[in-house]
């Protein structure tokens, strides 16, 4: 009879420092797991299992929403829907990239960095996707066509490049100064979110009822997501109690995808209800294709940034030294 031998799990003192998480004492996978071990661990209860599934399943839900949107409308000839289509594509990409990163991040130290480089790149692109959709459907009436509106997307593109660079660099800085690396990563994603949401914050302040309530739910969950990521609660208060279920990264994932769901619903409502008004205010037919083109340009830039940081890992001799030092201290 065939039996499946699952990989052995380790405690926090058995893994290098870079693999450790605050308040998580047990359930770690081996830091040199094979790809097969990583795949098997998806069906084994580790401290990463729920991190994987809380993003893997929503990525398919968002893909179903994307396909339903494509099948229910003539999107190829209706340029007005293109920004929403591009936004929905990023909603599918970022949880899938995160799920893959969490799955294979224990193959090696370099693999861990590269996995999360890709994760951060996808998250930065999702931020730009939100900006593209906000530019097309969320801007308040009195701001449409203003100088800020004309340059809003250009600045959002620069923010996306900044976010990808800073978040990737934060992983390298974290090896020497963990608090600095963590702070840089928070800044890398908080700043673009705050900038992208300026037109939304304005509408939340001045408007009420209807779709604004849905936008409010998304905003509340976005702030809660940031809070959980920054504080490592609740596991910091009870180390070891939330090793497998209920730690901050799982809650961070759940709040993030639920917030994305509310954001998607609110954007869909704005897109449909404000169609005539927005098309009349934005007579330039190239506005919507240009908004989507900015996504393609940023996606290529993100891949180049990730490739550059990944290549730097193989040209940095101190990388293996740090790993060996961690191993010797552990032993």
pLDDT digits (tens, 9 = 90+) for 8-24: 899 999 999 999 999 99
- Report the alpha-carbon angle 318-323-328, nearest 5: 120
Mean pLDDT of the chain: 91
Average pLDDT for 59-73: 96
Alpha carbons within 13 A on the beta-carbon side of 83: 26
- Residue 4 confidence class, pLDDT cut points 50, 70, 90: low
- Residue 2 confidence class, pLDDT cut points 50, 70, 90: very low
- Residue 57 confidence class, pLDDT cut points 50, 70, 90: very high
Q: How many Å apart are CA 254 and CA 248, to the nearest integer?
A: 10
Does residue 104 surpass a pLDDT of 60? yes
Does residue 193 surpass a pLDDT of 50? yes
Does residue 178 surpass a pLDDT of 90? no
pLDDT of 118-128, one tens digit each?
999 999 999 99
Cis peptide bond N-terminal to 234, omega within 30: yes
Average pLDDT for 185-212: 92
CA distances from 325 to 15, 170, 182 (A): 12, 20, 22
Q: How many Å apart are CA 296 and CA 301, to the nearest integer?
A: 9
Whole-number pLDDT of residue 323: 46
Whole-number pLDDT of residue 265: 97
Q: Which CATH architecture has domain 42-314?
A: Up-down Bundle (1.20)
Does residue 325 surpass a pLDDT of 50? no
pLDDT of 213-257, one tens digit each?
999 999 999 999 999 999 999 999 999 999 999 999 999 999 999
Whole-number pLDDT of residue 316: 67
């Amino acid at each position: 009879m065939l039996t499946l031998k699952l990989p052995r799990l380790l405690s926090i003192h058995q893994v290098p420092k870079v693999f450790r998480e605050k308040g998580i004492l047990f359930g770690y996978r081996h830091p040199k797991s094979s790809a097969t071990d990583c795949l098997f661990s998806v069906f084994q209860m580790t401290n990463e299992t729920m991190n994987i599934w809380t993003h893997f399943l929503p990525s398919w839900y968002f893909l179903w929403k994307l396909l339903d949107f494509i099948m229910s409308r003539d999107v190829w000839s209706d340029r007005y829907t293109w920004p929403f289509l591009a936004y929905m594509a990023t909603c599918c990409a970022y949880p899938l990239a995160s799920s893959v990163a969490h799955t294979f991040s224990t193959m090696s130290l370099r693999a861990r960095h590269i996995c999360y480089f890709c994760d951060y790149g996808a998250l930065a692109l999702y931020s730009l996707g939100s900006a593209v959709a906000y530019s097309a459907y969320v801007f308040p009436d009195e701001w449409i066509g203003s100088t800020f509106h004309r340059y809003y997307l250009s600045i959002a593109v620069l923010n996306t490049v900044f976010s990808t660079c800073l978040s990737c660099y934060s992983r390298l800085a974290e090896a020497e100064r963990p608090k600095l690396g963590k702070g840089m990563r928070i800044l890398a994603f908080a700043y673009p979110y705050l900038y992208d949401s300026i037109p939304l914050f304005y509408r939340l302040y001045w408007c009420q009822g209807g779709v604004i309530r849905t936008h409010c739910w998304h905003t509340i969950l976005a702030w809660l997501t940031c809070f959980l990521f920054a504080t490592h609660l609740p596991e910091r208060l009870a180390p070891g109690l939330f090793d497998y279920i209920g730690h901050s990264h799982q809650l961070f994932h759940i709040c993030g995808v639920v917030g994305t769901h509310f954001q998607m619903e609110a954007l869909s409502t704005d897109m449909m209800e404000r169609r005539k008004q927005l098309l009349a205010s934005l007579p330039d037919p190239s506005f919507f294709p240009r908004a989507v083109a900015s996504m393609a340009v940023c996606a290529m830039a993100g891949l180049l940034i990730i490739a550059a940081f990944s290549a730097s890992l193989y040209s940095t001799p101190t990388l293996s030294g740090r790993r060996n030092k961690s191993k010797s201290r552990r032993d």
